[in-house]
Amino acid sequence: MNEPISVASTDEDLGCLVEGLPMPVMVAGSQPGWPLLYINGEARRLFRLAGRAEESDLASLIDPADVACFEAELASLSHDRLQVRVACRAAQGRPPFDAIMRKARWQGQDAWLLTLMPGEQPTCGERESFYQQMFTTNPAIKLLIDPATGAIIDANAAAEAFYGYTLDALKRLKITDINCLSSQEVRVRMAEAKACEQLFFEFRHRLASGEVRDVHVYSGPVTLAGREYLHSIIVDVTDEKRYYTRLEVYNDLFHKLPVGVYRNTTQPEARFTAANPAMLSIFEAHSPQALFEAKLSSLYASAEQLEAFLGDLERDGAVSRRPLQLLTLNGRLVHAEVTAFRQLAEDGTVEFSGIVEDVTARYAAQVNRDRLTHLLDASPDIVSITDAEQRVVYLNKAGRKLLGELPEALTLSLEQTHPPWARRIIEEQGIPHAIEHGYWYAETAVLSRDGSEVPVSQLIVSRRTERGELDCIATIMRDISQAKRYQAELEFHAGHDPLTGAVNRNRFLAVLAQERAEARRNGHSLSLVMFDIDRFKRVNDTFGHSIGDMVLSRLVQTCRGLLREVDVLARWGGEEFMLLLPDTPLEGGEILAEKLRRAIEEADFFPVPTLTCSFGVAELAAEESEARCYKRLDEALYRAKAEGRNRVCMAEPAGFSDSPPGKSR
């Protein structure tokens, strides 16, 4: 028998060496229970012991099943070295250790020096059949895998049911056929499991049906019939994972929802018991606690609203989007829409859950919109707003008055509102121009309810969103029928003689210039007739000036009845008139002048008994100046007067007279 070895507790270097050894080393006293005198770092880690050895003894660390055997071995010890196999209580699931025990001296007393080595895997038939029994009868899903090839060696009934393969089919598969990871990755995991580096894995396994399930796999090495396999327990966690994923989503939602979500109790008094961050923000609470401490009744701005709200909630059990005015913890007014419903808490008390939407900004916008609508409705202009799809979404009061109510479908189209010509301009020019340049202005027309056209000045303005997309097109239309009437009157007065309604000299000259150009282009002839009332001074002198005026006016009416639409009758001055006859040669002018002369002579100018006129007729030559033609006319008229009045005289042909224009009568 060898002498007991002496552990040099005083030798610091040696102490450090033992302390840091990568195998568990312990010194136990020889008295019953074997109190521990020293344990190194690895042993402390393995047995999960705190630093001080004195607090434990060896017996408490050994599996109770092994203690009796251990005691017997020690009692019958006839030499100083003993090797026993012990299962470590604290390291459950690990294979048993071989404890090599040697007698030793520790600080003057007899002791055992223990070094623990990982034991060999059980190979005895008894344990194997026990394992086999566990494997087949256990309701957990189990696979036995060859770590070298990944081949499925065996599977239990639960595995067959789970994967949807028969046992034979499973045995023809490799684990890489089932695992969604690449074969390479699966091999790495198998190596880790085999080396006990990692025993727990999260995988995705594909079933025979093609469905992929989330699984937790507990895999570790086992030795069966002398060969090492991986024994894997598979737990289907798909539903659990989905549940937790959903839970996470709900939790995330709760925290991130832009509306306040709450729960409140009513006992002993109404207070919030849960609130998300949006709730805290609405009520300006710096912490959930601050909000939970507030009495709910103090958060309502109006006692009547609170009473009505609680009454409805009591009666119906739920209230949906009720507009309420609330107060923040700082007393600020919040316009909110509150949804609440009643629930029974686990302890039987009544609880309420719900949502608070802060609509203060929307409320302010609504107030602004109402003000704007009020203003627009007060405007005499027609204001309409059309969305990007060109549906009319707003029509002010003036518009509704003129065009009728906006149809429910909001599809009041241009076809209904504008006459075809205006619609064409708006569609082809107005809208494209407004969309491109921001606005378009023109005079168009709308159809009134009775179908008549109402002239309008139309401004089309387009608005774009921040992203540059077309948002809407607004149209402002002003009824300009009155202005149009004034304008037409002004234009008439600017070009007509107010007494007789005949055009004035200015307008006559403008029309003459146009007609001459037209005649030149087409090679048509154009004649002028100048005529003058005979002895009109006598009319005035005899019957008075107003009868003279009446005669002038009736004379024009008499002439008009004999003229074509294109002929232009002008009051040249005083009692002198000029007629423009487009597309008329000299002979035609003479015939018309004679017709007029006779008609005037025969017309009734009561109280003036008879009225006659003298006429001069000329054809305006293509290159002749107008002044020269007037002179020829003037001369012809002079001759008519000179020859006794009430007659038609033809002007000398153009080119005969070269003298400048002037009154020759």
Ligand X SMILES: Nc1nc2c(ncn2[C@@H]2O[C@H](COP(=O)(O)OP(=O)(O)OP(=O)(O)O)[C@@H](O)[C@H]2O)c(=O)[nH]1
Closest separation between CB of residue 578 and ligand X, Å? 15
Torsion angle of C-alpha atoms 377, 383, 388, 389, degrees rounded to 10: 90
* Beta carbon nearer to ligand X, 401 or 535: 535
Complex with ligand X: residue 497 or 619, whichever CB lies closer: 497
CB atoms < 10 A from the CB of 166, how many?
A: 12
Closer residue to ligand X, CB minimum distance, 131 or 543 = 543
Binding segment (CB under 6 A) for ligand X, from list 53-61, 122-130, 470-478, 534-542: 534-542
- Contacting ligand X (CB under 6 A), which of 35, 354, 548, 589? 548
- Which contiguous run of DSSP H or E holds residue 71? helix 64-75
Which string of DSSP letters, residue by residue, matches 516-561?
HHHHHHHT--EEEEEEEETTHHHHHHHH-HHHHHHHHHHHHHHHHT
Residues 344-363 that bind ligand X (CB under 6 A): none
Build a one-symbol-per-residue string for 564-593: x at contacts with ligand X by CB under 6 A, - elsewhere: ----------xx------------------
Q: Which of residues 642-661 bind ligand X (CB under 6 A)?
A: 645
591: amino acid identity, one letter: I
Q: How far apart are CA 503 and CA 33, in angstroms?
A: 141
How far is Cα 499 from Cα 571, in angstroms, rounded to an integer?
Answer: 10
Task: Find the shortest distance in angstroms from Cβ 509 to ligand X.
Answer: 20
Q: Which residue is nearest to ligand X (CB)?
A: 548
Helix, strand, coil fractions of the chain, as percent rounded to 5: 40, 30, 30
The answer to whether the beta carbons of residues 658 and 631 sit under 8 Å apart is no
Q: Would you say 601 and 536 are in contact if contact means Cβ atoms under 8 Å apart? A: no
Write down the least CB distance from residue 390 to ligand X, Å.
58
Paired tokens of 351 = 């609880």
Closest separation between CB of residue 512 and ligand X, Å? 22
Q: How far is the CB of 399 from ligand X (least distance, A)?
A: 49
Phi, psi of 35 (to 5 degrees): -60, 140
- 35 or 548: CB nearest ligand X: 548
If the CB atoms of residues 427 and 643 are measured against ligand X, the closer one turns out to be 643
Q: Which is nearer to ligand X, 425 or 648 (CB)?
A: 648
Nearer to ligand X, 56 or 504 (CB): 504
Number of H helices, E strands in the chain: 24, 26
Q: How far is the CB of 414 from ligand X (least distance, A)?
A: 51
CB of 533 to ligand X, least distance (A): 5
For residue 547, report the phi and psi dihedrals to the nearest 5 degrees: -65, -35
> Which of these ranges, 47-55, 447-455, 504-512, 544-552, lies near ligand X under the rule CB under 6 A?
544-552
Contact segment (CB under 6 A) with ligand X among 38-46, 223-231, 545-553, 623-631 equals 545-553
**Helices of type H across 325-459:** 360-378, 397-403, 414-417, 420-425, 431-437
Is position 641 an interface residue for ligand X (rule: CB under 6 A)? yes
Show contacts with ligand X in window 473-532 (CB under 6 A).
532
For the record, the structure tokens of 375 come out as: 């203003």
Q: Which range touches ligand X (CB under 6 A), out of 314-322, 455-463, 487-495, 537-545?
A: 537-545
Scanning 9-17, 484-492, 543-551, 622-630 for contacts with ligand X by CB under 6 A, the matching segment is 543-551
* Closest distance of CB 604 from ligand X, Å: 18
Q: In angstroms, what CA-CA distances link 545 with 201, 539, 541? A: 123, 8, 7
Contact 327, 333 (CB under 8 A): yes
Q: Dihedral sign for Cα 291, 294, 297, 299, please.
A: negative
Q: Shortest distance, CB of residue 494 to ligand X, whole angstroms?
A: 19
How many whole angstroms separate alpha carbon 189 and alpha carbon 198?
A: 8
Comparing CB distances to ligand X, the nearer of 186 and 550 is 550
Q: Pick left, alpha or beta for residue 184 (phi over 0 → left; psi -120 to 50 → alpha; otherwise beta).
A: alpha
Residue closest to 468 by CA, chosen among 441, 429, 426, 436? 436
| Residues composing the chain | 665
Q: Which of residues 76-105 bind ligand X (CB under 6 A)?
A: none
Kindly determine how many residues on this chain lie close enough to bind ligand X according to the rule CB under 6 A: 15
- The burial class, CB within 10 Å (0-12 / 13-18 / 19+), for 215 is buried
Distance separating alpha carbons of residues 628 and 657, to the nearest angstrom? 8
Q: State in angstroms the smallest separation of the CB of 573 from ligand X.
A: 8
Binding residue (CB under 6 A) for ligand X from 540, 553, 558, 657? 540
Query: In the bound complex, what is the minimum distance in angstroms from residue 541's beta carbon to ligand X?
Result: 7
Separation CA 280–CA 293 (nearest Å)? 12
DSSP type of residue 341: E
Q: How far is the CB of 612 from ligand X (least distance, A)?
A: 9
Strand order in the sheet with 200-206: 152-155, 141-145, 227-236, 212-224, 200-206
Contact 401, 450 (CB under 8 A): no
Instruction: For ligand X, give the closer residue by CB, 215 or 579.
Output: 579
616, β-bridge pairs: 530, 649
Contact segment (CB under 6 A) with ligand X among 151-159, 337-345, 426-434, 548-556 equals 548-556
- Cα separation, 130 vs 134, in Å, equals 6
Handedness of CA 282, 287, 292, 293 (dihedral sign): negative
Query: In angstroms, what is the minimal distance from the CB of 614 to ligand X?
Result: 7
Smallest distance, ligand X to C-beta of residue 641, A: 6
Window 23-52: residues binding ligand X (CB under 6 A):
none
Which lies closer to ligand X via its Cβ, residue 183 or residue 506? 506
Per-residue contact flags (x/-) with ligand X for residues 595 to 634, judged by CB under 6 A? ----------------------------------------
> Which residue, 438 or 573, is less far from ligand X as judged by CB?
573
Which of 353, 335, 333 lies closest to 343 in space, CA to CA?
353
Task: Find the shortest distance in angstroms from Cβ 539 to ligand X.
Answer: 7
CB 642, min distance to ligand X, A: 10
Q: Within positions 401 to 420, which residues make up the interface with ligand X, using CB under 6 A?
A: none
User: Please, which residue, 431 or 559, has the CB nearer to ligand X?
Assistant: 559
Q: Which C-beta is closer to ligand X: that of 552 or that of 636?
A: 552
- Shortest distance, position 645 Cβ to ligand X, whole Å: 6
Structure tokens at 457: 């000045």
β-bridge pairing 392-395 and 439-447? unpaired
Residues that bind ligand X (CB under 6 A): 532-537, 540, 545, 548-549, 552, 574-575, 641, 645
